[in-house]
Amino acid sequence: MTQPVSPPRDDTPKLSPQAEPGSWRTVAARADVRTLSLLGVLAALILIGGITKPEEFLDTRNLQLVLTQASVIGVVTVGMTFVITSGGIDLSVGAIVALASVWATTVATQEYGFAGVLFTAVLVGVGCGLVNGMLIAYGAMVPFIATLAMLASARGLALQITDGKTQIVSIEGILELGERDSYVLGVPPLVMVFAVVTIIGWLVLNRTTFGRRTVAVGGNAEAARLAGIDVRRQRLYLYLLSGLCCGIAAFLLIVLSGSGQNTNGNLYELDAIAAAIIGGTLLSGGRGTITGSVLGVLIFTTITNIFALNNLQSDVQQIAKGAIIVAAVLVQRRTASTT
Partner 1 sequence: MAPEPPLLTMSGITKSFPGVRALDGVDLDVLSGEVHCLLGQNGAGKSTLIKVLAGAHQPDDGTIGWRGEQVTLRSPIAAMRLGIATIYQELDLVEGLSVAENVYLGHELTTAGFVVRGKDARTATAALLKRLGHPEIDPARRVGELSAAQQQIVSMARALSHDVRLIVMDEPSAALDPDEVDNLFRIVGDLTAEGVAVVYISHRLEEIRRIGDRVTVLKDGRAVAGGLPAKSTPTREVVALMTGRNVEYVFPERPTLRDLPDPVLEVRGLARDGEFAPLDLTLRPGEIVGLAGLVGSGRSEILETVYGARRPSAGEVLVDGRRLKPGSVRAAVRAGLGLAPEERKAQALLMLESVTRNVSVSSMSRFSYAGWLDRSAERDAARKATRELSLRPDNPSAPVRTLSGGNQQKAVLARWLLRGCRVLLLDEPTRGVDVGARAELYAVIRRLADDGLAVLMVSSEVPEVLGLADRVLVLREGHVVHTAPAQELDEHRVLDLVMEGSPAS
Q: Which of residues 23-52 bind partner 1 (CB under 8 A)?
A: 23-24, 27
Q: Is 1 in the site for partner 1 (CB under 8 A)?
A: yes
Cα separation, 247 vs 249, whole angstroms? 5
> What three-state secondary structure class fits 187?
strand
d(CA 284, CA 198): 22
230 binds partner 1 (CB under 8 A): yes
Half-sphere exposure of 78 (CA within 13 A, CB side): 29
Minimal distance, residue 93 CB to partner 1, in Å: 25
Between 170 and 209, CB nearer to partner 1: 209
216 lies in the binding site for partner 1 (CB under 8 A): yes
CB of 172 to partner 1, least distance (A): 38
The nearest distance, CB 195 to partner 1, in angstroms, is: 20
Among 287, 310, 317, 329, binds partner 1 (CB under 8 A): 287
CB atoms within 10 A of CB 16: 6
Handedness of CA 265, 267, 273, 278 (dihedral sign): negative
Listed as own residue / partner, the contacts of 157-162 with beta carbons closer than 8 Å and 24 or more positions apart are 157/99, 158/95, 158/98, 158/99, 158/101, 158/102, 158/103, 158/262, 158/264, 159/262, 161/99, 161/102, 161/103, 161/106, 161/262, 162/102, 162/260, 162/261, 162/262
Number of other residues whose CB lies within 10 A of the CB of residue 31:
16
Our CB check for partner 1 shows the closer of 58 and 199 to be 199
Answer yes or no whether residue 212 interacts with partner 1 by CB under 8 A.
yes
56 near partner 1, judged by CB under 8 A: no
Q: Which of 95, 224, 240, 255 binds partner 1 (CB under 8 A)?
A: 224
Rounded CA separation 102/161 (Å)? 7
Distance CA 314, CA 318 (A): 6
Q: How far is the CB of 214 from partner 1 (least distance, A)?
A: 12
Q: How far is the CB of 115 from partner 1 (least distance, A)?
A: 27
Is residue 4 close enough to count as binding partner 1 by CB under 8 A?
yes
Q: Is 62 exposed, middle or buried (0-12, 13-18, 19+ CB in 10 A)?
A: middle
User: In this structure, are residues 295 and 42 in contact, taking their beta carbons and an 8 Å threshold?
Assistant: yes
Q: Quote the radius of gyration of the chain (alpha carbons, Å).
A: 23
**Contacting range for partner 1; rule: CB under 8 A; set: 225-233, 244-252, 258-266, 306-314:** 225-233
> Residue 55 or residue 222: which is nearer to partner 1 going by CB?
222
Pick the closer one to partner 1 by CB: 260 or 288: 288
What is the rounded CA–CA span in Å between residue 218 and residue 224?
Answer: 9
Segment near partner 1 (CB under 8 A); pick from 13-21, 192-200, 238-246, 318-326: 13-21
Give whichever of 182 and 206 is closer to partner 1, judged by the CB atom. 206
Applying CB under 8 A, the site for partner 1 has a residue count of: 44
The nearer residue to partner 1, 12 or 311, going by C-beta atoms, is 12
Min dist CB 287 to partner 1, Å, is 6
- Of 12 and 60, nearer to partner 1 (C-beta) is 12
Which amino acid is present at 258?
Answer: G
Q: What's the min distance (Å) between Cβ of 12 and partner 1? A: 6
Contact residues toward partner 1 (CB under 8 A) are 1-6, 8-16, 18-24, 27, 207-210, 212-213, 215-216, 219-220, 222-230, 286-287
